[in-house]
A and B are shown apart, each in its own frame.
Chain A
Amino acid sequence: MLEVDNLAKRYGDVLALEDLTVRVEGGKCLVLLGRNGAGKTTALRCMAGVLPPTAGTVKVDGIDAADDPAAVRARVGLMPEVPGLYERMSARDYLDYFGAIYDIEPGLRKRRISELLELFELADAGDRWLGTFSKGMRQKVALIRATLHRPRLVLADEPTSALDPDSARRAWDYLNYLKSDGCALVICTHSMEEAEHLAGDIGIMSAGRALAVGNMAALRRRSGLKKRKQVRELPTLQDIYLAIVGNHYALAETRTA
């Protein structure tokens, strides 16, 4: 699905990405971890056929991004770090506009838009201007936009950074659903929890280079860390939060009834 070989990208005299080689098959997910400026966003832009590589090759579905970048972009759904929404457009119109750009037939795109707005609990807000949306709502719309055309490869830069834990989980479920449908995913994130939740393989990047790429077991071996003596069995904060919020909603529903 995605084949990246010795990818390098130079901006003037700045080498932003160097010698990146990764493979992501359909139904698999690669998570890229790294500090800000590690080259993750540049890697995503090159993989999406948005920026031409300085060296190396990017192939999506066997199509070389250097030969036919438009065909690559048509097969890819890119969700940048900043949602980049038009403030004076309703969510429905906005998604319809991008659906038309991706040549989705009008009836089909209307149906998909309704389904996805419903899935992300935005159906009621669908006719409101995007300028009135919260940060989390915007991120959801950006995720819908990036996947509306059912791309073969989804590239997402911190897809859940502005989402509350419940919405984040919903987004992960959606991404996992796409994965199970044969879509390949490449996700950049700073959230270790997100990485563990989604990743098949993990790439750790620093200063434009991939330090390590592999699954958890391979990375564990690579890191040389021993098995923890004490296994933490206490729930994480996220587990506690979700339990309390869940109980609160359940209690409220009982009282209303």
Chain B
Amino acid sequence: MRWPKLERRKAALVAARDLRDAISELRLIAAMVALTLAIPIASGSGVRALATFGGGTSVVNRLALVGAFFVVFIPASFSLVLALESFVGERERTTLEVLLSTPLREAEIYAGKVAAVLSVSLALCYGGLIVYCLLTFPGLGYFPLGILLALALSTFCQVAAMVAGAVIISLNARTMRAANVMASFIILPMSVVLQVEAALILLGRAEFLWGFALLMTIVAIVLVRMGFNGFSREALLAREVGLKNPFGRALDAVRASFAMRPTFFRLVWMRRIPMLIAAAGFPVGAWIGYLAGSTNVIPAVVLRPVLSSLVRSTGDGGGVEQALTIFGHNLLAFVLVALLAIVTVGVSGFLLTFAPGFILGFAAALSSWSIALTGIVPNGFVEIPAAIIAGGLAIQVGAAAIHMDARGGWSARVLAALADYVRALRWLVPALAVAAVLEVFLG
């Protein structure tokens, strides 16, 4: 993985100007500082009051952690606004065009702008966190340094991810109005991320939070790299023509994505690496499922109802009805995997083989491998290869979604990957039908 070349002095020039611009709006900066100070003071005072007036130790400790999360969350959300203003706002006011006409490399402009937004947002986040810690923890007899550091790292990554997301938006939005609408694509996944983080903080386990912070680091690196690759003069200046008849152009793009695609067998060969990854999902899932079942990490009482409901969902009717139900379930899974491939960056494709493998391994842990395997024979001989092919193609869709190129063409690449998936369904859907018949009448 190569990062673009850049001269730090030039990037620092851009960063210094942007920073100056960001803090020159006095009302905005006053509001941000007030929030950054008011929230930690209020939260810290609340926790201390609870400790003073007899709150139980475990409740106070847990609340102290939730307060820390609350304190960094609000300033972190400013980063999206600042980043949109820095990238899309400059594009709208045409100041970016002037900057692009200078000898500065794209990477220097990008790095400078990202550094400026990160500086403001992180100064507010960490400033608030320090104020909160100074107010809350002295004398409390509890200072979860590991959890606070993990929270600080994941906040850094969340801010970086939001800023990188804003850059990707800036490549597709010419106005702040359009950018604000498109910001939902960042806000919605981010809200899910924050809910997960809040749940982990409530659990109070530092190792979970470190795992989460590591995951966020990977996401942030992927997004920042996407921004680096996509932030190009060509992408920012060349797309200002051809805006007429957007629906017609969209239809043409979809049509074009189906043209000149490889045949099914050639496609399988071309996508052998993602398909190998998908194929690995099944044994990996089976192994992890077996471990989860045998070590009781996930108690059988939790998973057994899930397995029972899966069996019940095939229906009590005749063989044809059961076969149709199984076929319908599998087809729905295949369609959902493709739809979710873009937002999950292909993880849904991996889960298509991992999840059945996990269930098989878990069932084997509860009974034995021979009994568990009888559940997937003989239909598995058709169903599993179909899932591997579909999973591999979905992973390819995810890979296309995170691949940005200076020459643009993101939509064309994602549409082509989706077109491959749709074309492959011509083979996969009959395979699923055969598997359903085998499962009901020979299984």
Residues of A within 8 A of B (CB): 11-14, 16, 45, 48, 50-52, 70-71, 73-74, 76, 78, 80, 82-89, 97-98, 100-102, 142, 145
Contacts and interface: CB of A to CB of B under 8 A. Distances in A.
7 closest pairs, A vs B, by CB? A84-B94, A84-B98, A78-B101, A74-B103, A82-B94, A73-B103, A84-B95
A84 B102 contact: no
Contacts of A83: 94, 98
B238 interface: yes
B304 interface: no
B13 A97 contact: yes
A88 B24 contact: yes
B21 interface: yes
B233 interface: yes
Residue of B13, B25, B239, B241 with most partner-chain A CB within 10 A: B241
Contact of A80 (B93, B97, B238): B97
10 contacts: A16-B241, A51-B238, A70-B105, A71-B103, A80-B94, A82-B97, A88-B21, A88-B25, A101-B10, A101-B104
Contact of B101 (A80, A86, A87): A80
Contacts of A88: 21, 24-25
Contacts of A98: 102
Nearest to A75: B103
B242 interface: yes
A70 B103 contact: yes
B321 interface: no
B100 interface: yes
Contact of A84 (B10, B17, B93): B93
B217 to A, nearest CB: 32
B88 to A, nearest CB: 15
A73 B102 contact: yes
A11 B100 contact: no
Contacts of B24: 88
A73 B10 CA distance: 15
B207 interface: no
Contacts of B20: 89
Given A73-B101, A73-B102, A11 B241 contact: yes
Contact of B102 (A87, A102, A142): A102
A51 B101 contact: no
A17 to B, nearest CB: 11
A145 B237 contact: no
B121 to A, nearest CB: 20
Nearest to B101: A78
Contacts of A16: 241
A142 B99 CA distance: 12
A145 B98 contact: yes
A51 B101 CA distance: 9
Contact of A86 (B95, B237, B239, B240): B95
B102 A101 contact: yes
A73 B97 CA distance: 13
Nearest to B25: A88
B13 A51 contact: no
A52 B234 contact: yes
A249 B21 CA distance: 40
B101 A48 contact: yes
A189 to B, nearest CB: 19
A45 B10 contact: no
A37 B20 CA distance: 37
A13 B252 CA distance: 11
Nearest to B93: A84
A87 B20 CA distance: 12
A82 B101 CA distance: 13
Given A84-B95, A86-B95, A88-B21, A12 B101 contact: no
Contacts of B100: 50
A70 B10 CA distance: 13
Contacts of A48: 101
